[in-house]
Structure 1
Amino acid sequence: MTKCNSQITTLFIILALACAVVPAFSIEESEAKSLWDTCVVKITPKCALDIIAVVFENATISDSCCHELVQEGKVCQDTLIKYIADRPTLISQETQYLKKKYDLWNRCVSISTTA
């Protein structure tokens, strides 16, 4: 239970810092609330961080996280990635992130349909 609370706290801090560091480029408050309500609270914090790591780093994702992602839907993935990718330091690599996002989605759908 403590580990879960720690992961939730870590995810919340990451999202809050990302928004606070560059307030001029932050997404609208209603979008942030939508992200929180539709994605972050439904996908485990570990999976949300894994999804972000796959797209913005060179990480891998577990099959169980793929199942969670597909269950929540493409809009959830798109919103989560957009929230992070809209930062000025990341915009220049948008094409790379979009490809990784689509590759991740396709991989997760493939895993979910074969299980």
Structure 2
Amino acid sequence: MASLNVYSVLVVLFLTCGAAMATKENEQIIKENNCETKMGLPCVLKAFTNIFETGSISNKCCAEVVVLGKVCHSALVKTALENPLFKDLVPATIIAKSIQTWNNYLALIYSPSPCS
């Protein structure tokens, strides 16, 4: 799996260059919903690590993901999968994990325990 540094580079490139590799549909969703500006970089890194590898995420970052919205969450994950860095990953597996993670965030954001 890629290290946190690879995720950092991916996220920084994504945030600074836009969704150049995104499909038109995902690019349009990201642009229309201002997805790139709704989360802080530290939480973006934690969320991506949580989905693409393993890790935990704080309640604060969990809440940022939920505020981001499911549409943005899905579009950003699908866009990341288009990056050559992730060519060895099975998209269906990551998308399934992304959906499961989203559902966990929703369930856990209202509980006293930290998101994971």
Report the residue type matching 2:105 in the other structure: C
1:112 aligns with 2:79: no
Distance 1:85 1:18, change over 3 A: farther
Q: 2 CA distance for matches of 1:55 and 1:73? A: 16
Q: How does 1:92-103 map to 2 (within 5 A)?
A: 92-103=89-100
SS at 1:97's partner residue? helix
User: How far apart in 1 are the matches of 2:46 and 2:105?
Assistant: 13
Give the CA deviation at 1:33.
Answer: 6.4
Partners of 1:10 and 1:101 lie apart in 2 by: 17
Contact 1:18/1:84 (<8 A) preserved: no
Partner of 1:27, secondary structure, is coil
**Identity among equivalent pairs (%):** 22
Question: In the alignment, does 2:74 pair up with 1:73?
Answer: no
Unaligned runs of 5+ in 1: 1-7
Q: Structure 1 residue 38 and structure 2 residue 31: aligned?
A: no
> What TM-score, normalized to structure 2?
0.67
After superposition, the Cα gap between the structure-2 partners of 1:84 and 1:66, relative to the gap in structure 1 and judged at 3 Å, is: same
Partner of 2:51: 55
The one-letter amino acid paired with 2:35 is C
* Cα RMSD (Å): 3.1
TM-score for both structures, normalised by structure 1: 0.67
Number of aligned positions between the proteins: 102
Superposition deviation, residue 11 in structure 1? 3.4
Moved more, 37-46 or 73-82: 37-46
Q: Deviations over 1:58-77 (max 9, x none)?
A: 22211111111112210111
Tell me if the contact between 1:27 and 1:83 (Cα under 8 Å) persists in the aligned partners: yes
The structure whose Rg is larger is 1
**Structure 1 or 2: larger helix share?**
1
Shift of 1:84: 0.3
CA contact (8 A) 1:50 1:61 kept: yes
